Structure 1
Amino acid sequence: METAVLGMGHRSIAEVLGRADAAVRGRIRRFKMRAEEVRRHFTVGLVAVADDPVMPDPMGSLPTDAVVAVVAAHRAAMTGWPGMFMVSRWEFVGRVLGGRLLTWPPTANCST
């Protein structure tokens, strides 16, 4: 997602990752649809984890703001638990959201 918000297209990302164009395009589209919820969730997490949180400035787009919030929350968690916290940024996201980045939060008509 970081690469996508920096402007790299889905075809280039798919090529680098060795994934199908349609799969990457769908994941980026889904992330964009969920960007506000992701931004909000990780901003709240940042405040909960950081001793003296520095709130990210708005970057001009919801997907970019969501990525910046994820980066800030991940950094705060790494700072808070340096000896225990050794997961990548997007593994952190997966763990925080229960592996449901692209389907989180559940929609009202979603049955689990």
Structure 2
Amino acid sequence: MIGAALVAKAAGAGARVIAGAIGRPVETVRGWLRRFGLRAEEIRVRFTVLLVDTGLDPVPPAETASLFADAVAAVFGARSAVASRWPGLGEVSPWRLACAVTGGSLLTPPRP
């Protein structure tokens, strides 16, 4: 659910529309989007580094109009890089990878 909300926001949808589409309270969705947005630059950098370090022929995602979308694209790019490096792992979603890489702290508030 959270991953779908982040992808929808990166595509330009608002919290109300996203909440309606995934059947979650708008306050919950806003919280997810806000926390991800606060850490977007950190997430973008971390997952771009993972992509470049693990990809067989890495191509970092092109910059978009928003840092939020850039961070989501970096997560998906890192997932593709990991899948190309270790195809035997099977199909791992970008959000399971994000959870593993961040130790489950993808949506925690940024550290001072």
Shorter chain as normaliser: what TM range? 0.7 to 0.9
Does residue 18 (structure 1) correspond to residue 23 (structure 2)? The answer is yes
- Whether the 8 Å contact between 1:97 and 1:104 is mirrored in structure 2 is no
Distance 2:109 2:41 in 1: 11
1:102 maps to 107
Distance 1:104 1:92 in 2: 19
Does residue 77 (structure 1) correspond to residue 77 (structure 2)? The answer is no
Q: Which moves more between the two structures, 69-78 or 80-89?
A: 80-89
**Which runs of 4 or more aligned residues in structure 1 lie more than 3 Å from their structure 2 counterparts after TM superposition?**
none
2:65 maps to 60
Percent of residue pairs identical:
46
**Displacement of 1:16 after TM fit?**
2.0
Distance 2:96 2:32 in 1: 16
1:50 maps to 55
Q: TM-score, normalised by structure 1?
A: 0.88
Amino acid at match of 1:5: A
Amino acid at match of 1:30: R
Relative to structure 1, the CA distance from residue 14 to residue 90 in structure 2 (aligned partners, 3 Å threshold; closer, same or farther) is: same
1:36 maps to 41
Instruction: Please tell me the root mean square deviation across aligned C-alpha atoms, in Å.
Output: 1.4
Does residue 88 (structure 1) correspond to residue 86 (structure 2)? The answer is no
**Displacement of 1:45 after TM fit?**
0.3
Distance 1:88 1:13 in 2: 20
Q: TM-score, normalised by structure 2?
A: 0.88
**Displacement of 1:104 after TM fit?**
6.3
Unmatched runs of 5 consecutive residues or more in structure 1: none
